[in-house]
Amino acid sequence: MKKKHFIWATILYAWSILYLAFTTPITPHEAKLFFNSDGIVNYLMVLGQSLISGFLGFRIFFIFSAFLAILFFYEFARRYFQKRDNDYEDAYLATLIFMLLPGIITGSVLSNIAILVLPLVLLFVLLYERKHFALLPFIMLILFFIHDASIIFFIAIMLYGLIHKDKKLAITATTFLIAFIILAKGIEIGGRPSGHFIDIFGLYAAVFSPLVFLYFFYIMYRTFLRETKTLIWYISFTALIFSLLLSIRQKVHISDFAPYVTISIVLMLDIFNNSIRVRLPEFKKKYKLSFNIIVGTLLLSASIIFLHQLIFYINKNPKEYFANRAYRPYILSKELKDRGIECYNSKRSREQYQLMYYGINSCSK
């Protein structure tokens, strides 16, 4: 991908993200975090709202974190592909694909813990590749406190350190794992065998887009069998395996795993490039066709998200649309205010939080 194309795409992308954050009503999950949470996400939402009014305010820190993640990803991709003659072109393409992942787009626009974790994970990998080891424990410490699911990250780091004989990394990661056990932190595990195993594939398809996820799954398996296992592979593969195992017994929150699997885009593009570059021109057509189809589905998924507002308003049956849960309370609050009604009892607790954000409280019993 050429530099000028990447720059224009990045400018358009940044404008689109800001527009979506400015115009998309507060979602049920965001409303619950805003009114009924005391974690880092709630703190940043309230702080942002105090600085900037409107939807953009409580999302501003998460947008900044997302842009920071994209910058770190580009720096890592550039270093990863630096041995190639066209390393910058590969880095541009990998970064663009990363930016267009549905999970990255929605994570950039909506307040969530995953987009706060992602730049820290990327910064850790980037600093490790640059051999700046002194800063790594501080990043691990931040992850330990802000994200209970970072236990997955520490397990991956420990395994990488043990297998690749990096004693300091293994010992540091093991120390944090022991701290997780002592403080009883981490992902809650429970339940009984249920039907959530199939659901996890749908969640990953929503994060990556369907065909990109299939390729991601293939790359994880292929690397396990015969490719060089890098640090990012250990992180992504560990997150994938844990999510699949947990989904057998309980409902899995994709935000616990998304920051650790999406970083594998660099690995996916590198293996694809290695596969196509060793073949004669007449045998490259099917690879190029497959690539175009996969990227085409990714662009389609991204377009649906960017144009979701337009699709919602022209949809003849908006109740069946995925964005209805965000727009219904917003429209309802306007109708209630126009009619002079200042309270409303909703059957859904999260919708009640959304209405509270618009100034419509529940009616006293």
**Same domain membership, residue 300 and residue 326:** no
Q: Is residue 311 part of a domain?
A: no
State the DSSP code for 184: T
**Same domain membership, residue 232 and residue 343:** no
**Same domain membership, residue 198 and residue 343:** no
**Same domain membership, residue 327 and residue 282:** no
**Same domain membership, residue 245 and residue 151:** yes
What is the band of 86 on the pLDDT scale with cuts at 50, 70, 90?
Answer: low
**Same domain membership, residue 265 and residue 155:** yes
Q: Is residue 313 part of a domain?
A: no
Containing structural domain, residue 345: 320-357
pTM over 0.95: no
Which residues 6+ apart lie within 8 Å of 159 measured at CB? Answer: 234, 238
Identity of the residue numbered 229: K
- How confident is the model over 118-146, as pLDDT tens digits? 999 999 999 999 999 999 999 999 999 99
**Same domain membership, residue 122 and residue 17:** yes
**Same domain membership, residue 211 and residue 175:** yes
Start-to-end CA span in the chain (Å): 61
What is the band of 189 on the pLDDT scale with cuts at 50, 70, 90?
Answer: low
Q: Is residue 134 part of a domain?
A: yes
**Same domain membership, residue 211 and residue 149:** yes
What distance in Å separates the CA atoms of residue 80 and residue 72, rounded to the nearest whole number? 12
**Same domain membership, residue 189 and residue 334:** no
- How confident is the model over 54-81, as pLDDT tens digits? 999 999 999 999 999 999 999 999 988 8
- How confident is the model over 5-38, as pLDDT tens digits? 899 999 999 999 999 999 999 999 999 999 988 8
Q: Is residue 138 part of a domain?
A: yes
Instruction: State the total domains in the chain.
Output: 2
Q: Is residue 364 part of a domain?
A: no
